[in-house]
Amino acid sequence: MPGFEFFGPEETKEVNEVMENGVTFRYNFDGVRGDQWKARQMEQMIQEQMNVKHAHLVSSGTAALQVALAAMGVGAGDEVIVPPFTFVASVEAVIAAGAIPVFAEIDETLCLSPEGIEAAITPRTKAVNLVHMCGSMAKMDEIKAVCDKHNLLLLEDACQAIGGSYKGQALGTIGDAGTYSFDSVKTITCGEGGAVITNRDDVYGHSHMYSDHGHDHVGMDRGAEDHPIMGLNYRISEMNAAVGVAQMRKLDKIIATQRYNKAKIKNAIKDISDIQFREIPCEEGDSAGFLSFILPSEQRALEINKKLAENGVDGCFYWYGNNWHYVKNWKHIQNLTAPAKLPIELIEDRPDYTNIQTPKSDDIMSRTISMLIKLSWTEEQMDARIEGIKKAFA
């Protein structure tokens, strides 16, 4: 991770095929595009790779979240359970839908816990936005059981976890819908892009229409298409999808490389007494984008984070102090700061986001460091990294 480390002539070839035909729009222009349909091709590749019935490409991972929520029927006044540890888009998309984010606790998986979800459910709860953080998964059996028990929709935000699985099933395909991100620093990249994946025909139908102004995409004449629903424009371009086609062919190699590199480092530092590795409910399904470990105290985590940098171990993240991945640092979310009045402001009994209480999550994240696993490391570079980690803990 990220996929751009494996950029090569394959991506150039796919982009050139689009440029040679001059059609960058993903729909129509059938007669002049030389039968080049990169978005369709990438969608088919995702469907086959993930063993999922439908995949629909959009312009970003954030767009995928917004489209998925709308397609699942989540809207004004609905409560959606979200984690305090995630990229901020997971929460922004809920607010943009007119819904109400409700923060629940995570556990040592670094994902929402079944107990945290159960404790956050109210009569207004419509869905759970489950984020598979840092390439690994939550306790899916238990969480699916909670959602089924309370008749809740389950959206899997697998934007950081493409290529991961749980008991043989691709992450993102277990709930009602899933999302991927293909931005410039994701496991595979289109530059910008995302996808909604689902086994539900109705969610797919709403997804492809909602992301293109409600077009039903029936027939070959765009001007004659009907508009069964309202929508917006979250279309991906053929240029971005072309890069994604080449990257999809490399996904297995990317995941295998990540797993090898992570295993080498993890095995070399497993005997360091201070380290407790994050819980991974299905080890063989870990996409291995990050190596995350939990330390005995916040003070020790801060000390080790500093010493890692001093010993040349780059790419380490102390999320608890990170501006974009932990709720305590999101002042714009806490204060609902926006350029215009938000739908959520019309709800008088909304949560007080300036006083979010997630003490278990605070404890876990204040002690957690995650190391990005790069694809381009040589054996010598990994050996030097291992030595640097050991020096940091000495």
Residues known to be catalytic: 186
Residue 200's alpha-carbon distances to 28, 96, 134, 315, in angstroms, are 25, 23, 26, 38
Neighbours of 19 (CB within 10 A): 13
Write the burial class of residue 148 (CB in 10 Å: 0-12 exposed, 13-18 middle, 19+ buried).
exposed
